[in-house]
Structures are given as structure tokens and as C-alpha cells.
Amino acid sequence: MNSDALARSAASSDPAMGLRAVASLRQLAEQLESLQVDRARDQGWSWAQIAAELGVSKQAVHQKHGVRAVIDNSKGR
């Protein structure tokens, strides 16, 4: 779904269509967050710095993304 179609769906008066758009946006936001957290960690950012930018606690961001970072490091990333 392109961005124009997604915007139209999100504003739809049909709740089913609107909720599907919300789910798509949530998935996109999660993917973008993971990408940017990985980039920040690759550039040496601390969990505290990342958390501050996301507006969450250091513990929350580490709990959500830390396991993936450990797995990626074990693969030689």
C-alpha cells in the first residue's frame, strides 16, 4: 500500500479499513524504530541516548531491542 492509499485508508469512515491502516502504520513504525536503533548502536550510541530520543526509559528500549543486538553481535554483525 503506497502512502497516499494508506492515508486515505486511515481516514476512512469504514472502521475495518481504518484499523487495517493503523495496523500497517504500526508495523512500519516498528520496522523504522528497529532500523534506527540498530544504526544508533552501530554508531556507538548508548541505550540511554536512544531512549531519550524515543521518549522512553533506558530499560524499555534495552528490553525491546537488546536481545536482537546480542543475537546480531553473535553473528558477527
Q: pTM value?
A: 0.77
Neighbours of 56 (CB within 10 A): 14
What pLDDT shows up at residue 70? 60
Residue 71 has pLDDT above 80, yes or no: no
What is the sign, positive or negative, of the torsion defined by CA atoms of 13, 6, 20, 26? negative
What pLDDT shows up at residue 8? 87
Cβ 49 vs Cβ 40: under 8 Å: yes
pLDDT tens track for 14-40: 999 999 999 999 999 999 999 999 999
Between 64 and 72, residue with greater pLDDT = 64
What pLDDT shows up at residue 72? 62
pLDDT tens track for 33-63: 999 999 999 999 999 999 999 999 999 999 9
